[in-house]
């Protein structure tokens, strides 16, 4: 199971969380990555933790003020990127271009989707993985694996109909039990944010997430 922690724009210390994630990953053998703000990519990557961008823009070099160029994210230490998070929606054509931009820069991709139908659609764009995240559950502490496990099962089925595209489970993940439940439903990873970024003790929260992996 892959644990991908999105720090969003929360008022947390990205280096502290990166350091904690690297410590837990090294001690447990779990695969943990942290996705900080673009300005913090290099600082987090310097902790040694697997570092992801929260977004890259569907553009190449050129006149694109305010865009996040995939090549610059990679140069700052990113190894992958989220795309189409519910808080950073893209049109399907732009998802396709953003996946291409990430591939051009050597970045892995996880494309987020609201439901199984969207999972099937974005899986056809050949990302490295898709994450099913019902937006109404994001930040609630209630995981989709508990609220509606059939959503996860259907997402896994939709992706498998397209090809060998791993499915991650997002929205409301906060405990090791949530991670285990996602795994048992066929997910190969989890995407979470507040469960770590808002935790009083991020390292303890991370340890709990990977205890049973």
Residue positions annotated with a catalytic role: 85, 133
Question: Whose structure tokens read 């808080």?
Answer: 87
Residue 125 tokens read as: 């764009």
Residues in Cβ contact with 60 at an 8 Å cutoff, skipping those fewer than 6 apart: 101, 104
- When computed from its CA atoms, the radius of gyration of the chain, rounded to whole angstroms, is 16
Residue 186 phi, psi (nearest 5):
110, 0
Q: How far does the chain reach from its first CA to its final CA, in angstroms?
A: 7
Residue 41 tokens read as: 């990519």
Residue 189 tokens read as: 């990873």
Report the alpha-carbon distance of residue 54 to residue 208 in Å, rounded: 24
Residues in Cβ contact with 26 at an 8 Å cutoff, skipping those fewer than 6 apart: none
Report the alpha-carbon distance of residue 198 to residue 140 in Å, rounded: 12
Residue 150 tokens read as: 């059939």
């Amino acid at each position: 199971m892959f644990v991908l922690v999105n720090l969003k724009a929360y008022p947390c210390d990205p280096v502290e969380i990166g350091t904690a994630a690297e410590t837990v990953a090294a001690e447990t053998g779990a695969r943990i990555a942290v996705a900080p703000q673009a300005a913090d990519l290099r600082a987090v990557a310097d902790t040694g933790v697997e570092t992801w961008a929260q977004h890259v823009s569907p553009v190449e070099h050129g006149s694109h003020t305010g865009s996040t160029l995939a090549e610059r994210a990679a140069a700052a230490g990113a190894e992958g990127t989220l795309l189409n998070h519910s808080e950073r929606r893209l049109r399907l054509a732009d998802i396709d271009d953003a996946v291409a931009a990430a591939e051009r820069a050597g970045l892995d991709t996880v494309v987020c989707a609201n439901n199984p139908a969207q999972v099937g659609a974005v899986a056809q764009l050949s990302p490295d993985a898709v994450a099913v995240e019902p937006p109404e559950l994001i930040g609630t502490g209630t995981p989709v694996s508990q609220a509606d496990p059939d959503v996860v099962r259907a997402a896994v089925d939709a992706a498998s109909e397209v090809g060998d595209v791993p499915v991650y489970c997002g929205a409301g993940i906060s405990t090791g039990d949530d991670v285990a439940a996602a795994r048992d439903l066929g997910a190969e990873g989890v995407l979470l944010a507040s469960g770590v970024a808002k935790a009083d003790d991020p390292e303890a929260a991370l340890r709990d997430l990977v205890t049973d992996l």
